[in-house]
Each structure stands twice: as C-alpha cells, then as structure tokens.
Structure 1
C-alpha cells in the first residue's frame, strides 16, 4: 500500500481500436529490456502537433549537433542543443534538444546527439490511444469480488474472484469490525484492491474514483466523451449503453456506499475508514488464496467526507445514464455530509497499520471543503454554497508545490468549482478559476528550471512521486481548459514525457510502454520476479517512482546516497519506490485521456 501520495521490445501495448479488443503478449522479462541511453526521450513518442523535446546528459558546455532519424536511418531534422545547465534533483549536467517544429509522422524514429542515440519512438496522432485504454483497464484488473476474465485481461491475468466469501477467503461478504468498534458484520464486497496489497481504503478509493469520473466529466465538456464511451475499455459491462469509464467508477462507488454505516446503528451515515486483513500477507498471495481474517476499521470523518464528495459527483455525472443510481448516490452523499457535520473529530490515526496501510488523516478541513463543493455543484443548494464560502480553504492557496493527494483534497473541490457550472458570484468564480491558472503557472515555472521538465521541486521526490507528477500535470491541463492557451497543453504533455522516459534514469515508469520499462512493481499477484508462474504487471501499470526517503530495505541497500530523482529501482521488494496504486493510476489515466484527444 502507498504510505503517502507525496506519498526492440514492443513500445505500445494492448490497444482498443474501432471497438475491437486487440491483445499482445504480456510484458517481456527484465532481461529483454533495453538499457537506458544518455539521450532521454519519451520512449512511446510524440504527438505531431505537440512539444518534442529531449534531454541529453553531457559535461559539454558548448552546443552539440543533433539529428532526428527516421526508421530507414535518413535524417528527418537536425539542429544544435541549447544549454539546460545543472539539474539539481538528479545532479546531471544537461542540454536540451527541441525538435517541436518537425511535423512528420512515422514509427521508429531515433535522436542522435554527439554520437549517442536514443531509444526509438513514434510520432503519430494516435500515440496515446492504447495507453488510454490500458491505464484505465488497470482498474478492472484490481477489482475485488469478481472474476477477472481471460477474454478481457488476457490468460496470464485471469483469476477467480477474490474476497467473495469463498474459502479460504474470510471476506468480504460478511466482515466484522475490529474488537470494540461495532457488534455487527457488513457486506463490503467489491471495490478495487488498493495497491500491491488487498486492502480497500475509502480515502484512497475516493480520490481515485473521483479522478476517473472527472476524466469523463472533463472529456464531455471538451466534446470528447465518445473516446471514453461504451465499448471503449476492456470491462465486462461493455455494450450496456453506459460509458465504460463510468462502469469502472461505479464498481468503486458501490463499494464506498457499502462502507456507510446504516440507519439504526451508532454513527449512522458515517463511513468505515477501511477494510483489510488482520495481519500482513506475504508476497506472492493471489486474492482468492488469502486466508487472513478481514476487519472493518473505525469510521472516520475523512472517509465519510470522501464518500460525500464522490457520491455527490456521481449524482450529477451518472444521472443521464442511470437516474436511480444517481439518486441513490445523492442520498448517500447527503447522509454522509450530515454525519460528518455531527462527528467532525473522528480522526484516523497513523498508528493503525497492522495488516494494511494506516491512511491516517487528522486534518479534515480540506475534505469538508471538497465535499461541500461537490454537493453544491450538484444541487446548487444554498446550505452547501454557504459551507463552501465559509471554509478557509475557499480563499487559501490550495495548490501546493507538492500537489494534491488523498490526504490533501481541497484542490479537487477548487477544480470542480472552476469547471462545473454553479451559482457562485461572478467575482468569486473569477478568483477560483484564476487560482487554478496561477497554480499551473507555478508548475510550469518549476518545469522550466529543470533539465527534465518535471512539475516537482527537488524535495518533491517522495513516496508516490510519479503520482504527484500526474496530479500536477492535470492541474496544468485544467488551466488549458479554462484559458485555451497552448502553453498549458505543452506543459501537461511534457510531464507525460517525463513519465515515459525523459527522466534521469531513462526509465519508462509505465509497464509495456517504452524500451526501458518498469516490469517488477510491488504486487501480490503480478509477482513474476518472485514466482515465474505469475505474470508481470499488465501494460498500463504505473510505478510509484523515485522516493528520496528510501523507505524499504531493498531501496536502502541498493540506492544509498542517491540523488532524489535517481532514488528508484525496478524491484518487487521496493514497495516505497516501485509499488502500484489506484491513486497513481487514476491521474495517469486522466492525463493520458487528455493527451489522446484530437
């Protein structure tokens, strides 16, 4: 589980084209993956009308010649580098190649700088279509309580349903509380497994569900909803006349509502903070083979407000497709809001970490603001507007350099107020929107000071840093929606370049995309490094990324003394740098859906 959100191989993987399901082989083993190059590019490629920049590691202080070569070896473009200077987060001396003016298309391009050649990459309009499908289909493969079907996920990833009340599982159809918490059991089946473990956490599920549903809400505003529509993803619900991304989001939303305490019980309307094993399971452990008892953990204000926010969002987004479900979401959101107001100090401690992640959250003003914003955007009711405007977060700078996260959610409310029609006074709405644009400008300025154009400061390489890159890039993309100024699209796309190989390690952090790609993320089922009968993570899985704190034994042994941006290792044992998590894949999926629009 993520402790914090701050805590020639094929370059493209399974793609969904023209409504047909196309599969390729599972990702190759690490031995077959190419070594990094000193010329760091987006190893998937570039969009014809997008930025095309690369970073070169060099001690030279003079401009260097570069050549862009097509698959036949012919020179398609050439020029000289510009100075990038010292990159503080990596310790590298860098120069930059900018070939954005080249508008040709094709596959198998390489970039050669001073005799050194990059990994191959493509330039094409449909560059991100396959990754869009895979990054979102990650969530289907993380589903709890349903079989994962070979026809959808591929034979290597098929498995029986986990935690559906079938032995040896001891959950999740009738799960008791921890001793002293409650005297009844709840059916809390479904939802997504959180990360490499098989716990389910409302505060992490909340932000992940919000980002998936928001990706559709944003695409619909932009006129691109069809790209995320019915039969665009590998999910069992395809063909039901509901956008597939909303089908996927609903799987988590149904679970979140099951975590709500029913009427007639103490703390009715509140949400249990989490459900997971009583003791940590080892690696590997397939979900259907987990024999540990499962427990509900105490209700928390943070979890309850996550439910209020996501269920309120659900009520407006799902209404055109399932009015009854939307109404049920709104009723749940209202109950959660009322319960949280009555119990504002049920705080989740950092100490409850046996058998699963603690997800402690002792500051809940941000969740109150987020939930109020979602309820107001959905209902337009004055009581929720008053809660928004009375919150100190409404006028605060909620976009920090580190970026929003599961425990810092005020920015989600700000984004909703900036983009979803509501009744805020014009001056207030102008200020709200300006705050998003100002935050994006700050992230662009940070990128401009670095050799690898990362929207993170040097001290931002913490647990889940790649998720923070994607979160900050999504803010830049929202600024593009609000202003239509090209520099924001450019910035969002360059952040994606970093994740796909234009980084100090020359490492694509997304499985199946790039010649030097992550393959051994920390996961109990996708554990090929430990057990050759099990698969590597599927294409579209997203590694947590560099973490300067080195918070696991493998990282401490292998990465001692590393510069912040270099504190990553593709090893299944390095859970602090190389885990997967729903709250990291969600912003990746959001960002790639934005990048794929055309």
Structure 2
C-alpha cells in the first residue's frame, strides 16, 4: 500500500508540475514609465508642447501650447518602440484635460512611409477616462512611436496615466560591431610622428606584436605594454608603440594577440584633404543662399529661409512673445528684423550667436595661425555678416546687445530641407553671452580684414566696441534654460569667461589698455573648452597674436597638465573627466585640448607638445573603444549618420550622408536623447555612442565641433 501511495503521488506530480514549469510568459509591455510616479522620461513633448511636460501627482501633464495647425505640431510621445509584422498590439491608458479637446492617438513608424498600427481620435474630457486601442503591425520597424497629438486645438493641459502597450518582443540587446581588437588611427600616421595602437585583450602579460606592410612583409616587431582595465571603456587593454618605423607607404597593419588592425598609411600628406573637407560643412550649412553642386557636389539645394513659400523667411523676423521670458524685456509691437544668412548651427535650422561666435573665432584663429586661403575668409565673412544682423539697433530696448538666437517657434521633424521649413521664425531675447560673443568675434574679424577690406574691418570694430559697452551695462542678462521650443536653449549663467575673451580680442585689435584683461587663472579646463567656456580663446590669442608672456606660460602649463593626463589613458586621448562621465560633444572637447597642445608646440617648437597633439587625434580617427573614425569619409569604418535634417540618408535614401570631413559629437555619458537612453543604458563612457541619426546626444553635427576639427586639420598639415 505504501508503495502504491508513493507511485500515485509521483504520477500526480508529473501531471501537475508542467503547468508551473511551462507557464506562458507575461505579455511584453513596451511602456517603461506609464505611471509617471516621479519622472517623465522617456516620454517627450514635441512641437508646441516642447519643454512643458512634468510629472504631477503621479500623472504626466503637458501644456499643449498655442499657434499650431496640424495635430502632430504639438504632441506627447513615447519614441523608439518596436513594431513587428503581423503582431497584435493593445494600448490601454487613462487621460484627462482641463479643457476638453479632440486628441489623436497614433502608434506608427516615425519615418519613411509612417506605417501605422492604429490611429484614433478621442475627445478627452476633464475627468480621468480610460481607453483601449488595438492594431496590427505591418512591417518591421525600430522607430515606432506612440503619440498623443493635440496640435491645432484649444490650449489645455493634457494629463496621462497608467499607460501600457502590450504586444511583440523586446529589442535584442544592442551590441556594437567593434571590429578587430587592435585599434589604430585608421587615417594613418606621420612618418616623423608618434605611432601607437591599443589592443583589447584578456592577456595580463606582454604579448608579441608585428607591423606588416601591404605586401605581407613583417617590418617591425615588439612586445606590448599591459595597461590593465581602462576606466573609460571598461576593457582590459595593452598598448604598443612603433614610432621608430618611419617609412611611408599604405596598407600597413598591426597584429597582436591573434588580431589584426584595420589597414592604415604612413605618410606626410595623409591629412591634406581633411584641411579642405573639414570646411565643406560650413558651406553646406549656409542659410539664405542656394548651395551649388559645383562647389559641393551632391549637396545642391535651394536657398533656405529667404521668404519663398512655404518658408516664412529670415528677411523680417519678429521677436518671440514677451510672455516667454521671466523678466520685463519686451520687443515693440510690429518689430521685425532681417537676419538672413549665417550658418545653420547643427541638425536643426536654428542660428545661435554663442555657437556661431566660437565657430567663426576658431576659423579666424586658423587664418591668423597660417592658413591664408582666401576661401576661408569668404566663409568667415558669411557668418560675421550674420552676427552683425543680430545686434539690436539703436532705438530698441537693449540697443547694442545681441539677440541670443533665431529659431523656428517649435521643433521640426527629420528629414526637412531648409527651403521646405514652413514653421514661423522668431528672434529670442538678447543675452549678455551672445553680446560678448559678437564683441569678441567682430573684434578678431576687424584685425583679420584690416588689410583686405579696411571699411569692413571698421564696421566690425564699431560693432564690437558697441557690443562690449552694452554688455557691461547689462552684465547679467542670461538666456532662459527653459527656452527650448524650436531650438536649444544654450543657457549660460556665468559670463566671466565671455567678458575675458571679448576684452582680450578688443585689446589685441585696438592696443587700448582699457580693454586689457586681468591675468587671471583658470582659463584652461582639462575637460576642454566649448561654447559655454571660452576664456581659453582669449588666452590662446593673447599668447599667439599679442606675444603675451603670461598667456604663453599659462598655455604651456595647461599643455603639461594635458600631457600628464594623456599618458594615463591607454587610448591616448588628452581627456579624462574626473567624474568619468564624458560630455555632450566630447569629440569637440578632445579636439580643443589638442588645440592647446598644438599651440604650446607652436610657442615652444618642442616635439613633446607636437607629439601629444598628434597622439590626441588618434582617438578621433579610430584608436578608440568602438574602433570607429568619428569623421565622415576618413578611415575604414566611420560615422556617417550624424543627426541632420539635410543629410538624412539613413531615413531617406535620396538624401546624402553628411559631407566628408564632418565630425560627430561623440560619446556622451548623459544619454540625453530617448534612443541612446534606451539602447545604451549603463554604458562605459567610450561606449556611449551610436552612429544613428536619432541619437542626437551622441551623434549630432555642429559648426563649433567642425571648427575645432578645421583648426586642428591645419596644424596637422604644417
């Protein structure tokens, strides 16, 4: 009896157990924050609602804004969802409004043909109401977007809660293709310059390496140096050095630990084309003029923002509504200004004085430091002319100051040619930072153009002195951080560096002691200078153009600190933030640190600074954790899907990639866009990058990053 009981129990268990072991998995819910308990990410408010989303009482609430026409002109969205062919999706959510309006709910591909899973319009009442929508995927897409669209309706507050979107499977883990484990500068090495490579390996003791030429002959051998785990990549790495090999040629490779690098050349002219190509972007980013195929083959387009429909144009731009600002600045009724021309700043169609200022200043410095190509002056003048139009004229509030920016009043989508942009445009309130950018860039321009066009130089200098005087009278007018509708805020509440830069440029140009800036410390940040930290621009010019001993010594001291920092980095970059968090535009910061090293080399003639600068660019051209060159068209594997509305080949095969010589922003630990936040969460700093047009936080292009590349390209060819 006992035996029979055990047998019966075992049989019962066999029958019951599978019900638990093979239970169906929970349906996959793509919504990662449907309850808004504390934060709003990864939800994004677009268009008229941009910047107006917040978590309130466990709900996501957004001001829908005014002045929109189409439903999609103002919306709350959850981007970068997965759509799978033939899969059924069920959306459940609760919503309310303060003023009941029709809301269009749509789940669709966010590019191309906008393949739609479902779309429905519901009039959302004032009380929280629950809805359910269903649909089926028609194709495979990685850029699905759930949107709640309320453009063209009465202004209201739309609140959302308890959102779920069930169906399909999660994305597979994102694993970048990093190629061979031996990382080199894919563009190559100068014969008399340093030559180093980094090997990703599990080995902890030195391993043999060999340098092989294009014919397969081994031309140099050695052993690697173990470097341990690199903090910026999380990889165990070793380095090797073949600087002693100087023979020019192409098709060289380095082999170590069973891996062989991408091929590379050794030659004196390897950067010759970069000096030209790094400036192409400025031409193709021009606003207010047709881009000619004869000048930039493959990039011809109609003039943008010249008032030809559907453009509103930049010929008569009004001010943004005064209600957008917290202070009492107002723009007279009916006032409008012609601000045609200049460069589009980045991926959008905005034009920003603080980004234009540093960009044109670096091109001016490139000219002053030896690149006397008259075509460079033509490009510089295109932007300087625009900056002059941004100065507030006499008789207007804050006369002499500079408007901070001119942008669309709400964000546009990708792709979009400038001539097809139908959004209204607006001037944004003047700022002290923009005014000092104008003063500095115009003062530098005045001395550069003095010989070739003295009348123009005098006009620039007059604008510069007027701007500096206006800034001193209005020393704390800051761009609002919340002013993000249609363009970046470029907020900066510390303008001591801008005052220093402007004073330095005015002093160098006029020799007027009243402008001489005090010799203060702190001009150089080892994390690199950028549009929001510009004292280094003044210090570099005081050292090179004014031959100021204090300035020269401070450049050399900054270079020494960068060399000490660089030697600790197995990938050789002169950049290692103490927090181990890489900045938005880290490639620009790295290049600007190279500018400091290169300037020290010019001031002293010492190879230690030249070699450090040359090693510093290796990380840009492929000697990095991802084994990618961040400059389009340079290297074996390179960035080519930088975010841009014009060069959007990834979204529309009829459009081009960015021009050769365009640099991507680079790794950004902040992961400030929804795509990188979703796919790169937890990344080591060097892995916080995607060559994807939608990853604007890591893969945007901007004029001020290319200006740094342009400056460095001239150094590399001398």
**TM superposition score category, shorter chain reference:** 0.7 to 0.9
Which one has a larger percent helix, Structure 1 or Structure 2?
1
* Match of residue 616 from structure 2: 495
Equivalent of 1:315, from 425, 437, 446?
446
* Match of residue 717 from structure 2: 596
In 1, Cα distance between the equivalents of 2:445 and 2:262? 42
SS at match of 1:354: coil
- Say if 2:364 is the partner of 1:213: yes
Q: For residue 401 of structure 1, report the CA deviation from its aligned partner.
A: 2.0
* Match of residue 452 from structure 1: 571
* Match of residue 196 from structure 1: 347
SS at match of 1:132: helix
Q: For residue 431 of structure 1, report the CA deviation from its aligned partner.
A: 2.6
The question of whether the paired residues in 2 share the 8 Å contact of 1:455 and 1:495 is answered with: yes
Which one has a larger percent strand, Structure 1 or Structure 2?
2
SS at match of 1:190: coil
* Match of residue 67 from structure 2: none
After TM superposition, the score normalised by the length of structure 1 is 0.87
SS at match of 1:435: helix
SS at match of 1:406: coil
1:355-394 to structure 2, matched below 5 A, reads: 355-385=486-516, 388-389=517-518, 394=519
Deviations 1:407-450 (A, max 9, x none): 1111111111111126xxxxxx3332111111111111111111
1:39-118 to structure 2, matched below 5 A, reads: 39-118=182-261
Q: For residue 460 of structure 1, report the CA deviation from its aligned partner.
A: 4.8
1:284-433 to structure 2, matched below 5 A, reads: 284-385=415-516, 388-389=517-518, 394-421=519-546, 429-433=548-552
- Structure 1 or 2, whichever has the larger Rg, is 2
In 1, Cα distance between the equivalents of 2:367 and 2:471? 28
In 1, Cα distance between the equivalents of 2:556 and 2:343? 33
* Match of residue 331 from structure 2: 182
* Match of residue 404 from structure 2: 273
In 2, Cα distance between the equivalents of 1:562 and 1:197? 27
Equivalent of 1:442, from 552, 561, 572?
561
In 1, Cα distance between the equivalents of 2:274 and 2:549? 35
SS at match of 1:163: coil
In 2, Cα distance between the equivalents of 1:307 and 1:131? 28
The question of whether the paired residues in 1 share the 8 Å contact of 2:213 and 2:252 is answered with: yes
Q: Structure 2: which 5+ residue stretches go unaligned?
A: 1-175, 323-329
SS at match of 1:467: helix
Equivalent of 1:567, from 684, 688, 691?
688
* Match of residue 115 from structure 2: none
The question of whether the paired residues in 1 share the 8 Å contact of 2:234 and 2:684 is answered with: yes
In 1, Cα distance between the equivalents of 2:520 and 2:489? 30
The question of whether the paired residues in 1 share the 8 Å contact of 2:643 and 2:699 is answered with: yes
- Say if 2:569 is the partner of 1:467: no
The question of whether the paired residues in 2 share the 8 Å contact of 1:480 and 1:488 is answered with: yes
* Match of residue 260 from structure 1: 391
Q: How many positions carry a matched residue from both structures?
A: 532
* Match of residue 116 from structure 2: none
Q: What is the RMSD of the two structures over their aligned residues, measured on CA atoms?
A: 1.3
SS at match of 1:481: helix
In 2, Cα distance between the equivalents of 1:36 and 1:378? 50
SS at match of 2:394: coil
After TM superposition, the score normalised by the length of structure 2 is 0.73
In 1, Cα distance between the equivalents of 2:194 and 2:208? 19
Equivalent of 1:147, from 290, 293, 308?
290
In 1, Cα distance between the equivalents of 2:220 and 2:624? 23
The question of whether the paired residues in 2 share the 8 Å contact of 1:172 and 1:187 is answered with: yes
1:225-264 to structure 2, matched below 5 A, reads: 225=371, 228-229=372-373, 243-264=374-395
Equivalent of 2:271, from 105, 128, 133?
128
In 2, Cα distance between the equivalents of 1:320 and 1:102? 45
* Match of residue 235 from structure 1: none
In 1, Cα distance between the equivalents of 2:220 and 2:399? 66
Q: Structure 1: which 5+ residue stretches go unaligned?
A: 1-32, 220-224, 230-242, 423-428
In 1, Cα distance between the equivalents of 2:376 and 2:512? 28
SS at match of 1:157: coil
SS at match of 1:349: coil
The question of whether the paired residues in 1 share the 8 Å contact of 2:573 and 2:617 is answered with: no
- Say if 2:641 is the partner of 1:520: yes
In 1, Cα distance between the equivalents of 2:249 and 2:713? 20
